[in-house]
Chain A
Amino acid sequence: MAPDPDAALMVAFQRGDASAFRALFQKHGRSMIAFCHHFVRDAGRAEELAQDVFLKLHRSAARYAPTARFRTFLYRIASNHCLNELRRGEYGALRGGAAGGDGSPAAPTDPDALAGPAPTPEEHARGAALARALQELLLELPEKQRAAFVLARLEGLPYGEVAEVLETTVPAVKSLVHRATVAAAAALAPFLPEGA
C-alpha cells in the first residue's frame, strides 16, 4: 500500500500535534459536508453532521491504527454517524418531497458547485431538477444501498474500500451498488439520453 500522508497526520495528532488535526480537517472538511449532504440533503444539517464526524474523529484518535487507510477510517465514522442519524427518523418526513431540512423546498443548487463551466439558465434549471430527483432517489433507497451507492457511485471509492467502510464483503457491495444503480436508472430516466 502506498504511504498515506493522512495516516501520517493522524499519527502526528496522536502524538499531540494539534496542527496535524487541523490539516486533516481542512483537507477533508468539505468532502465530509458533501458526503453527509447525500444523506440529509440539507446544507446546514450536513455541516453539523460533518462537524460531528470530526469531533468523533478527535475523540477516537487513540483507536486509529496506521495500518488502516485514513480515508477508510474517516468514512467509516461518517457512514455510521449518518446512518444513525437516518435511523433516528428525523428525515422520514422528507420522503416523497424534495424539501430542505426545515420542510421548505430544497434550495437551488449553487451554480458554482456544478461540475464544468458556468451553466446556462437552461442547464441550471436542469441541474436543479436533477438535484431534486437525485435527492428523492437517495431518500427512497434502503440505508445500506444508499451508503454503498454514495460511497461508490458519488464519492468514487473502489468496491474494496466501500466494503471496508461498511464492514461487509465485496460481493455484498457489488449487489448493493448494482441495485441502487438500477433504481437510479429508473428514477433518473427523464434525464437520460434518448434510447438509454
Chain B
Amino acid sequence: MSPRTWVAHPSEELTAYLDRALDPPDAARVEAHLAGCDACRAEQARLAAVSRLLARAPVAPPPSPTFEARFHARLASERAGERRVWSGLLDRKSWRWLAPGLGAAAAAAAVVLFAGPGRSRPVDDAFVASHLDLFESYEAVASLDAVQSGEDVDVVTHLGELREGKP
C-alpha cells in the first residue's frame, strides 16, 4: 500500500516523527509529505535543531552533600510523628464512636466531622479529621502495632471512604 500524502501540512506530526513516536504508516506519510514540501522540511529542520539543543542543555546542579541525610531525617521525623499520633489516637477511646456502622454512615459522619454544628467532641473530631491521611493505609497502621482489636480494623479499613466523603 502506498502511503497517502497529507492534504494539509502535518504540523503536529513533525515533532512526533522526530521523536520516532509515530506508527510506521504515519511515519511513511510524513516522509512522503516532506519529500514534496519545502515549508515542512524547513520546519522539521528547525524542530530537529531545537531537539538537539535541548539534548545538550545544562542539567540541574548535583545534589547537596546532605541531601540524603536530610531526607532520612525527615522520614524518621514523619514516622515518629505517625507513631505519636496513632498512639494518642488509639488511647483516646472516645473516637471509637466512629466505628459502628461506619461504612454505611460515612457520609453523615464526614458531615459531622468536617462541617457539623453541635459537635459533641470538637477536639477529638478535629484531631481525627486533620490526620485522616495518615491512617488510610492499613499496612502502615498495622506496622505500627496500633491495631489491637476488630473495632480498630473496622475503623481503619473505612477511613479512606470517610476521607473522600463516600457513602
Question: Chain B: interface residue count, which band?
Answer: 35 or more
Residues B16 and A177 in contact, CB atoms below 8 Å apart:
yes
A residues contacting the other copy or chain, number (CB 8 A): 56
- List residues 1-59 of chain B with CB under 8 A from any CB of chain A: 11-16, 19, 21, 45-51, 53-59
- Tell whether, in the assembled complex, residue B12 and residue A178 are in contact, meaning their CB atoms are under 8 Å apart: yes
The contact sample of 10 A-B pairs, CB cut-off 8 A, is A25-B68, A46-B60, A54-B71, A54-B75, A59-B137, A62-B139, A153-B51, A159-B16, A178-B15, A181-B51
The interface residues of chain A lying within 8 Å CB-to-CB of B11 are 178
A195 CA to B42 CA, complexed, in Å: 9
Interface SS of B by simple majority: helix
Q: Which residues of B contact A191 (CB under 8 A)?
A: 53
A positions within 8 Å CB-CB of B: 14, 16, 25-26, 29-30, 33-34, 37-38, 43-44, 46-47, 50-51, 54-55, 58-60, 62-63, 107, 109-110, 112-116, 127-128, 130-131, 134, 152-154, 158-159, 170, 174-175, 177-178, 181-182, 184-185, 188, 191-193, 195-196
Given the known A-B contacts A47-B64, A51-B70, A192-B46, are A159 and B19 also in contact in the complex, defined by CB atoms under 8 Å? yes
CA distance A191 to B12 in the complex (A): 23
Cα–Cα, bound, A195→B60 (Å): 29
Is the C-beta of B74 less than 8 angstroms from some C-beta in chain A?
A: yes
How many Å lie between the Cα of A138 and that of B11 in the bound state? 22
Within 8 A of A (CB), among B83-103: none
Asked whether B60 lies within 8 Å of A193 as measured between CB atoms, the reply is no
Q: Is the CB of A131 within 8 A of B50?
A: no
Closest to A58 in B: B75
> Given B51, B58, B75, B139, which contacts A127 in the complex, CB threshold below 8 Å?
B58
Per the bound structure, the CA–CA distance linking A195 and B48 in Å amounts to 12
Q: Are B60 and A43 in contact (CB under 8 A)?
A: yes
Question: Which B residues are in CB contact (< 8 Å) with A152?
Answer: 19
> Bound state CA distance, A22 and B67, in angstroms?
13
How far apart sit A62 and B74, CA to CA, in the bound complex (Å)? Answer: 20
Question: Nearest Cβ in chain A — how far from B158, in angstroms?
Answer: 16
Note all chain A residues with C-beta closer than 8 A to B67: 29, 33, 47, 50-51
Other A-B pairs beyond A43-B64, A51-B74, 7, CB < 8 Å: A33-B60, A33-B67, A112-B62, A128-B58, A178-B11, A178-B16, A196-B48
Q: A30-B63, A62-B137, A159-B21 are in contact. Are A134 and B75 (CB under 8 A)?
A: no
